Structure 1
Amino acid sequence: MSSKKTADLSPSLVAVKGQATPVPPASPPRLPASAPLNFKVSVEFRRRFRQRAAGADLKLNELLREALDAWEQKRGLT
């Protein structure tokens, strides 16, 4: 008597030779929606930045985007 266990396979999981479903081509890899931005600032700058974001009810990245937008607009880059 064999002690090997066999898996119960559902008929829908078993392909019959010549009737297998083709695998669709792989889609190109997507770029991430966001990426980390790492740099060092002084402790005082970090405190001020966090205070301004909290005071305006903004996330830190929202304040950073607004600051860059304002900087570009001031220099006529937009």
Structure 2
Amino acid sequence: MQLFQVSPGGGYGSPDWAELVGKHTGYVFYCEDIQITYEELSDKGVRFTVPPQKQDWGGVEGTFVDPDGNGFELVEQPKIRVMK
């Protein structure tokens, strides 16, 4: 699994960090097989607010939250097929 961060609204050092609790964090976790990762995390009690779904751009995304309601994305990038 790889982690990618997109800065949430307000940016670092913002005095309004308390307003960000319970919102999407901007963190994206990339994985090789989202279905397996989804099942493993769900079995461990991770709550998904959006189960993995195929996206128009070819990848698969799901959204999960931590105990404070902060949102994170789980993403499987599309497979690249090399033509020979």
Which entry has the higher C-alpha Rg, 1 or 2? 1
TM-score (norm 2): 0.19
Which has the higher relative contact order, 1 or 2, with Cα contacts under 8 A spaced 6 or more apart? Answer: 2
**Richer in helix (by share):** 1
